[in-house]
Amino acid sequence: MHEVVSVDFVGGTTAVCDAVIRLRGEALTQELGRIIRDLLSSPVGRFVAGPGGVEPGQAGGNYGNALRHAVSAGTEQFGYYEVSGRDYCDGDYRQIEAIAKLTAHLMQMQALAQRSTHAYAQMELQLAHQSQILDQIHESVLTMDQMGYITSWNRGAEELFGYSALEAIGRNILFLYADEEEGFHDVFAEQGGRMMEVRRRKKSGEVFWASLSLSPLRDLAERPIGLIAYLTDITERKQAEERLHHLAYYDALTGLPNRTLFGRLVDQALMVAQRNEALGCVLFLDLNRFKRINDTLGRRIGDELLRQVAQRFRDTLRDEDVVARLSGDEFAVGLFDIRQHFEATTVAQKLQAVLDAPFYIGGQELRVGASIGISVYPQNGNDAETLLGLADIAMERAKKGEANPDRSVAFYSDDMNQGMQERMRIETGLRHALGNGELILYYQPKFEIGSGRIVGAEALVRWVHPQRGLVPPGEFIPLAESTGLIVQVGEWVLEQACAQAAVWQRAGLPPFRLAVNVSAREFTQSLPARVADTLARYALDPSWLELEITESTLMHDFERVTGIMDRLTALGVALSLDDFGTGYSSLSYLKRFPIHTLKIDRSFTTGIPGDQSDCAIAGTIISMARQLGLRVIAEGVETVDQLDFLRDSGCDEVQGYLYSKPLPAYDFERSLRDNWLLLS
Ligand code: C2E
Ligand code: MG
Ligand code: MG
């Protein structure tokens, strides 16, 4: 017989689908029972949920007068169908089997769907929890991809930075960095996963300190896909730390470093000095009269006085100098940018001088001074503690030794003290000499070798010391250079030389060039104007004046030096290069300066004609000068042999004892007239 799928069967399957999807528990059991009864036209029929009902390993069959079939998929049995109350044939069995299979299949799918719906709901719940937790915690938590683009941003981050999640997500993390030079990749590569302290910028522009910890963000397959960053604002802690640091290392009253920090800074600087084989000096300053002011006028006045003293010290020193308040009225200074120890005396004197002006505090006029002791690295010690101790001892000695304690300065070493005293004596003497007319000029003639004519003269300064007589410049010019007094000396020499030349000009003497020595320190932008002004004041023709500059002057900034030289030669003043051969001027270098004459240094002239290398040097300078179109003069010519050699080598002029020593103006003028008469 041909089997036809009955309309009833189709309706039955639809009903099963509907029931399994919509119903649960007892309602489902009842409905499935009803469906199977209807479908198999059985007076009795039911669905029994749960395992059992059929032989193990069997799907179904006849049980007494009932027909049963398990509703099972794989190992899982959901229950069984059972119908009875009439006779059943094979067709009935196939129907109950088909419905049971369909039911099992549907139930399995339903269970699966239920499980995943459940899992999904669980996950959603978890996510909601997590973001709630993230938003609740005070820390700001954000995630970014491997390129640093922000992928999530919690409420803590919103509060900390001031950017909403909408504003932040999708931007690169770098927009929060406070220091431009800090790169994202560097941080990740070098510090990823570690805790660090970083500076970040808020939306308001405010920069703050944050502690940052980064941990890698991975996908389900454990591949790194970015970073999770946790940030907390630690600005307050940082500030507290800074306050603590300040308390530990700075003097609260003056804001200067304290003794501890001074020791550290000095020790650090000494390490550098050691590498550079440089010097260092420690100055110990003790205020005079402070205790009395403090005791009689009270601490408030005393404190303010110390503050102002500290300010004056700080203003006087350079940024690289270290100044500290040690205790009470004691201060210390560290100097490391000096070439010679006696330069510390100059600084010490400046520090004393800056206290000369009175302090006005609380309606009072107050005066304090300072006694200063100096110790020197490496001669006296190698560390801050030792140097400070020795400078203290030197200070005590200074205070006792000097009539005026406000001017007392002493080195720890005796020999340094003697050197200093000598220098100070010369320096005060020289200042005095400048004001008192104790300086005079001598004039040494320069002769043209070919004609024997006097073609010029060099003005050489002398100090007529009331006790010591004529002091040669070698004894005070170097000192004047190191103290800066050379500028005043130079001004006086130029003035005096021009005044004298103007006298000779008016007296109708044949014009010659009067050379004035100019030291490197005088060779400044203001020199050309000063020269022009002096020439004008004495109505002196510029062709009378020549400036001798030393090779060392050229070693400074090329542009600056040539600029000054050009302005001088534009005035009509000639320039000569003194002490030539002792420096390192190269030929090509020389060509670029507007120089008129080269002056061979006396040290080479002295060796002529005995010393071969001196002869070679002198000969080379002469031929070099000729090629460059410069005149050459040799200084320090004392013998006829020297003169002969120089003449044969092609030297233009000579200056030296062979012809004449430097002479006072009157004697020089007589020589000049004699020379002129003799040759005319
Ligand atoms: P300098 O410019 O090289 O001057 C030449 C020096 O050689 C002078 O010494 C001069 O007296 C000396 N002298 C000249 N002929 C002979 C000689 O035949 N034999 C010996 N043994 N010496 C001779 P002085 O006058 O002692 O000056 C020394 C240095 O002092 C000068 O060297 C110059 O560098 C400097 N100086 C002198 N006056 C001034 C000045 O007014 N300003 C500046 N900035 N420096 C000056
Ligand atoms: Mg000279
Ligand atoms: Mg010279």
Q: For residue range 518-556, what is the model confidence (pLDDT) as tens digits?
A: 998 899 999 999 999 999 999 999 999 999 998 878 777
Q: Tell me, what's the pLDDT at 392?
A: 95
CA distance 71 to 32: 11
Residue 576: pLDDT over 70: yes
Nearest CA to ligand 1 atom 5: 635
Q: Cite the residue boundaries of each domain of the chain with CATH code 3.30.450.40.
A: 7-115
User: How many angstroms is it from 515 CA to the middle of ligand 2?
Assistant: 8
Mutation to probe ligand 1, out of 447, 602, 661, 668 (largest number of atoms < 8 A from CB): 602
Other Cβ atoms within 10 Å of 608 Cβ, number? 26
Task: Answer yes or no: is pLDDT of 213 > 90.
Answer: no
Task: Look at residue 373 in the predicted model and tell me its pLDDT.
Answer: 96
454 or 678: whose pLDDT is higher?
454
Q: Rounded distance, CA 170 to CA 151, Å?
A: 6
Q: Read off the pLDDT band of 126 (50, 70, 90).
A: confident
Ligand 1 mean position, distance from CA 642 (Å): 19
Distance 295 CA to ligand 2 centre (A): 59
Question: Any idea which ligand is nearest the CA of 460?
Answer: 1
All residues at 6 or more sequence positions from 309 whose CB lies less than 8 Å from its CB, including other chains: 287, 331, 355, 359, 368
Ligand 1 atom 16: the closest Cα is on which residue?
636
Atom of ligand 1 nearest to the CA of 481: 44
What topology does CATH give the domain 137-239? Beta-Lactamase (3.30.450)
At residue 632, the pLDDT reads 95
**470 pocket-lining for ligand 1 (C-beta < 6 Å):** no
Q: Is 661 helix (H, G, I), strand (E, B) or coil?
A: coil
Six token digits for residue 680? 């005319």
Give the confidence band of 57 by pLDDT, cuts at 50, 70, 90: confident
Which ligand 1 atom minimizes the distance to the CA of 550?
34
Q: What is the pLDDT of residue 188?
A: 52
Enumerate the β-bridge partners of residue 655. 635
Residue 181: the pLDDT is 56
- Report which residue type is found at 5: V
**Average of per-residue pLDDT across 273-289:** 93
Fold of 7-115: Beta-Lactamase (3.30.450)
> Is the Cβ atom of 662 under 6 angstroms away from ligand 1?
yes
Mutate to test the pocket of ligand 1, among 475, 517, 600, 642 (most ligand atoms within 8 A of CB): 517
Tell me the three state secondary structure of residue 345.
helix
Checking if the pLDDT of 4 tops 60, the result is no
Ligand 1 neighbour 579 (Cβ under 6 A): yes
pLDDT tens digit sequence for 404-415: 889 999 999 888
Per-residue pLDDT of 474-484, as tens digits, reads: 888 988 887 78
Q: What is the pLDDT of residue 185?
A: 52
Q: Is the pLDDT of residue 376 over 90?
A: yes
Distance, CA 518 to ligand 1 centroid (Å)? 12
- Over 50: is that where the pLDDT of 621 sits? yes
Please work out whether the CB of residue 460 comes within 6 Å of at least one atom of ligand 1.
Answer: yes
Ligand 1 within 6 A of 497 CB?
no
Residue 2: per-residue pLDDT: 47
CA of 661 to the centre of ligand 3 (A): 14
Closest CA to 36 of 90, 111, 106, 102: 102
- Could you tell me where in the chain the CATH 3.30.70.270 domains are found? 250-412
| Closest CA relative to residue 510, chosen from 548, 451, 579, 456 | 456
Distance 226 CA to ligand 3 centre (A): 75
Ligand 1 within 6 A of CB of 553: no
- Is any ligand 1 atom within 6 A of the Cβ of residue 445? no
pLDDT at 1: 43
Rounded mean pLDDT of 54-61? 83
In percent, how much of the chain has pLDDT > 90? 56
> Residue of the nearest CA to atom 46 in ligand 1?
517
Residue whose CA lies nearest to ligand 1 atom number 4: 460
State in Å: Cα 310 to ligand 2 middle.
Answer: 45
Q: How far apart are CA 173 and CA 201, in angstroms?
A: 11
> 165: exposed, middle or buried (C-beta count within 10 Å: 0-12, 13-18, 19+)?
middle
Please state the atom number of ligand 1 nearest to the C-alpha of residue 522.
44
**Phi and psi at residue 250, to the nearest 5°:** -125, 150
pLDDT value at 260 more than 50 = yes
Superfamily in which the 250-412 domain is placed by CATH: Reverse transcriptase/Diguanylate cyclase domain (3.30.70.270)
Residue 419 and residue 410: Cα distance in Å, rounded?
11
**Ligand 1 atom nearest residue 441's Cα:** 41
Kindly report the backbone phi and psi dihedral angles of residue 74, in degrees, each rounded to the nearest multiple of 5, phi listed first. 60, -130
Mean pLDDT of 616-625: 90
Q: What is the pLDDT of residue 192?
A: 52
pLDDT at residue 483, rounded to an integer:
78
Q: Is the pLDDT of residue 80 over 90?
A: yes
How many CB atoms are closer than 10 A to CB 291?
A: 12
CA 661 to ligand 1: nearest atom: 15
Q: How far is the CA of 468 from the centre of ligand 2 (A)?
A: 24
Query: What fold is seen in the domain 438-679?
Result: TIM Barrel (3.20.20)
Whether 132 has a pLDDT exceeding 90, the answer reads: no
Across the chain, mean pLDDT equals: 89
Distance 458 CA to ligand 2 centre (A): 7
Q: Distance (Å, rounded) from C-alpha 220 to C-alpha 598? A: 86
Q: From the CA of 461, give the closest atom in ligand 1.
A: 38
Hey, whose CA ends up nearest to atom 23 of ligand 1? 636
Closest residue by Cα to residue 464 from 440, 496, 430, 428: 440
- pLDDT-derived band at 194, boundaries 50, 70, 90: low
Looking at ligand 1, which atom is closest to the CA of residue 473?
A: 30
Substitution candidate for ligand 1 out of 434, 446, 477 with most atoms within 8 A of CB: 477
- The whole-number pLDDT of residue 63 equals 87
Query: Cβ-count burial of 48 within 10 angstroms (0-12 exposed, 13-18 middle, 19+ buried)?
Result: middle
According to CATH, where is 3.20.20.450 located in the chain?
438-679
Q: Is the CB of 478 under 6 A from ligand 1?
A: no
Residue 471 near ligand 1, beta carbon < 6 Å = no
| Cβ of 549 below 6 Å from ligand 1 | no
* Residue bearing the bigger pLDDT, 23 or 310: 310
Report residue 480 as tokens.
């004047």
Question: What is the reported pLDDT for 183?
Answer: 56
Q: Measured from the CB, is residue 636 less than 6 Å from ligand 1?
A: yes
577 CA to centre of ligand 3 in angstroms: 9
Query: Is 521 close to ligand 1, i.e. is its CB under 6 Å away?
Result: no
pLDDT at 680: 76
Q: Please tell me the distance between residue 579's alpha carbon and the centre of ligand 3 in angstroms.
A: 4
CA distance 147 to 134: 23
Q: Whose atoms come closest to the Cα of 637: which ligand?
A: 1
**Residues 307-357: pLDDT tens digits?**
999 999 999 999 989 999 999 999 999 999 788 888 898 899 999 999 999
Nearest CA to ligand 1 atom 24: 473
Ligand 3 centre distance from Cα of residue 177 (Å): 62
Q: Is the CB of 581 under 6 A from ligand 1?
A: no
DSSP string covering 412-444, please?
SSHHHHHHHHHHHHHHHHHHHHHHHT-EEEEEE
pLDDT in tens, 382-392: 999 999 999 99
